[in-house]
Structure 1
Amino acid sequence: MFTTKKFIQHSKQLRYCPTAGCDKAITLSCTDLPTDSCRPDTVQCSCCFKFCFKCYRASHSPATCDQMQLWEQKCQDESETSHWKVANCKQCPKCNVSVEKNGGCMHMVCRQCQYEWCWECSKPWKGHLNFYVCNYTANKDKELIKRFLIFGTSKSSKKNKESSEEEERRLNRIELERYLYHYERFTNHENSHKLEKLIRDEATKKMKELQTSSTTWTEVQFIEKGVEQLLDCRNILKHTYIYSFFSFSDITNQRVLTAKELFEFLQEDLERTTEKLSELMGDVMKKSITLESSHRIEIMNYITLSKTKADGLLNAVLKDSLFEF
């Protein structure tokens, strides 16, 4: 037994599943072994856990292993309390009561005044032109880029010490805002991922419940597939913000800006589809025992659509030369 463990630990083609209580090993053929030590290589154990073959972390595509390490270190260096407050608590824009986010959707309804607003931008929900994705946050990011471009080249200019110190403070503040922008959105999707994980057991119960109404097991399989696809999309989306934070830091480079615009287009497209799938799956869990065939078909279509968009984003990062910085 000891010899087997030692062999697996030193093999480039074998990895033990890192899930607690799982003793299974994953094998990759020589042709499947990754050539880039920084790129993640996601594998799935028979226990259903997906992890990175190189660093043993849970699946983190499109973020690289190096980016994950840098992100974890950066998060440790910052105040955990301030992070939690930024990510989980906001004031209702209308009545100012403190609101804690406890659901996966960005659509918030204040329990005190019933005001409907967007968690990400705090603006009225009805003002969102794109119903499932915040269309105001992109403007904030562009403003940060503009300010960075204005002040980012001033360090090399010959100015007095006081002016240089002021500009450095501005740069530090802008960089902090940029970090918090990515951290908050990472945490939004992470929290949604955790909350949506809870519906796995509910999904199984719902599938059994539907079978009692003359619905076959095959006909209710879409519920399980929908939950798993939703979780996959959430996991990818939260790691897109880690990838974006490190990959697009040099915004004075036109090539980086072009790649950033394409990436954010793909990211927003996936977010929009994921939010719609999240809403549809939430409706399935809330509805009575009957389920219309049209609803089932709509969910199946969004399962396929979200997978296509997720694969498209990952393939662009891994294969498009535009992202080779």
Structure 2
Amino acid sequence: MLASEDDKEKYYAYLHVSESNDVACDCSFKFCWRCAAESHHPTKCKTVAEWMKKNNSEAENTNWILAYTKPCPKCSVVIKKNQGCNHMRCGALCKFKFCWVCLGPWKDHDGGYYECNKFKGKKDAERSRESARKCLERYTHYYGRWCSNERSRKMAADDLDHARRRCDGPIGCWGQGELATLDSVVEAWEQIVECRRVLKWSYAYGYYLSLETRNSGKMRLFEC
């Protein structure tokens, strides 16, 4: 149980007045009273649920496969092309040689190593692949920064715990000025932890902004 009935009543009265969903426990953990997830301002509860589901979904693996790999036309082994020309040779047992663009046999290819004259009829498939690639790159951009700020938040939280332990030591070991300095250090680390948390969730917020909003000044302000 996260809180006693008395605490729940007190928190509810506060939330009703302040319209805030954030609650801080004595252990310093902050959570959302509405959805019970960690505090996630400025992102809405529904967006948080969608974001976490997306992060845990196998769909992103499928998108990566669609965007960056193709099956061998002969044995269907999945192949990833890093760079170079369109002349491919399956690394599996079949050793089939084919064109990366049209997937046709290389012996029938007449566009050279960097062009494919047969590709005109397959532009729709490549457009879908390019769209999947762009969507994946956009998701990777936001997810990477979400993770980076979470790592930084955890490191700051460790430093905060260390500072608090020093403050909780024998009072006689510290002078009045030193205690005031330690209190300031603790407050500074608390602000850093909170800023990292807000920054982390701002990337989930930014990922789900509508296309119209993304093209507006609001998005440019967000990215500053």
Q: TM-score, normalised on structure 2?
A: 0.61
Residue matched to 1:235: 197
Deviation at 1:80, TM superposition (A): 9.7
> Are the equivalent residues in 2 in contact too, given 1:43–1:53 (CA < 8 A)?
yes
Deviation at 1:204, TM superposition (A): 2.5
Distance 1:33 1:196, change over 3 A: closer
Give the distance between the partners of 1:210 and 1:33, measured in 2 at CA.
37
**Partner SS state of residue 61, structure 1:** coil
Residue identity in the other structure for 2:47: Q
Give the distance between the partners of 2:203 and 2:48, measured in 1 at CA.
11
Higher relative CO (CA 8 A, sep ≥ 6), structure 1 or 2? 2
Distance 1:30 1:66, change over 3 A: closer
Give the distance between the partners of 1:201 and 1:240, measured in 2 at CA.
25
Residue matched to 1:257: 216
Distance 1:210 1:33, change over 3 A: closer
Give the distance between the partners of 1:201 and 1:44, measured in 2 at CA.
16
Deviation at 1:66, TM superposition (A): 1.0
Residue matched to 1:190: 150
**Partner SS state of residue 198, structure 1:** helix
Distance 1:71 1:254, change over 3 A: closer
How do 1:21-32 and structure 2 match up within 5 A? 22-23=3-4, 24-25=7-8, 26-29=11-14, 31-32=16-17
How do 1:1-325 and structure 2 match up within 5 A? 17=2, 22-23=3-4, 24-25=7-8, 26-29=11-14, 31-32=16-17, 34=19, 41-78=21-58, 162-207=122-167, 208=169, 212=173, 214-216=175-177, 217-248=179-210, 250=211, 253=212, 256-265=215-224
Structure 2, gaps ≥5 residues long: 62-119
Deviation at 1:206, TM superposition (A): 3.7
Give the distance between the partners of 2:22 and 2:153, measured in 1 at CA.
18
> Are the equivalent residues in 1 in contact too, given 2:142–2:204 (CA < 8 A)?
yes
**Partner SS state of residue 28, structure 1:** helix
Residue identity in the other structure for 2:37: R
Distance 1:167 1:210, change over 3 A: farther
Distance 1:245 1:210, change over 3 A: farther
Distance 1:60 1:204, change over 3 A: same
Give the distance between the partners of 1:209 and 1:244, measured in 2 at CA.
46
Give the distance between the partners of 1:168 and 1:245, measured in 2 at CA.
21
Q: State the percentage of identical aligned residues.
A: 26
**Partner SS state of residue 63, structure 1:** coil
Give the distance between the partners of 1:231 and 1:171, measured in 2 at CA.
37
Specify the structure having the higher radius of gyration (Cα).
2
Number of matched pairs: 160
Give the distance between the partners of 2:126 and 2:40, measured in 1 at CA.
38
Residue matched to 1:93: none
Give the distance between the partners of 1:62 and 1:30, measured in 2 at CA.
16
